Amino acid sequence: MKDQRDARVATGADWIIPILGAVFATYYLISIKDLDWEAKVSGVFCAVVLFLLIGIFALRTVIGLARGTHYVEWRSLYESRKLGSVRATLFLLTVASVAAIPYAGFTLSTFGYLFLCFLVLQKMPPRRAALIAGSLALFGFVLFILILRTAFPQGPFERLFFALTGL
Q: What pLDDT shows up at residue 1?
A: 43
Q: What pLDDT shows up at residue 51?
A: 93
User: What secondary structure, in 3-state letters, does 14-58 show?
Assistant: HHHHHHHHHHHHHHHHHHCCCCCHHHHHHHHHHHHHHHHHHHHHH
Q: What pLDDT shows up at residue 129?
A: 96
Provide the Cα torsion 106, 108, 110, 111; round to 10°.
Answer: 160
Rounded to 5, what percent of the chain is helix, strand, coil? 75, 5, 20
**Residue pLDDT, tens place only, 114-157:** 999 999 888 999 999 999 999 999 999 998 888 888 778 889 99
Termini Cα distance of the chain: 67
The angle subtended at Cα 24 by Cα 72 and Cα 86, nearest 5°, is 60
- Give which of 30, 20, 74 is closest to 50, Cα–Cα: 20
pTM: 0.62
Residues 119 and 135 sit within 8 Å (Cβ to Cβ):
no
Q: What pLDDT shows up at residue 124?
A: 94
DSSP string covering 135-160, please?
HHHHHHIIIIIIIS---PPP-HHHHH
Q: Which residues of the chain have pLDDT under 50?
A: 1-2
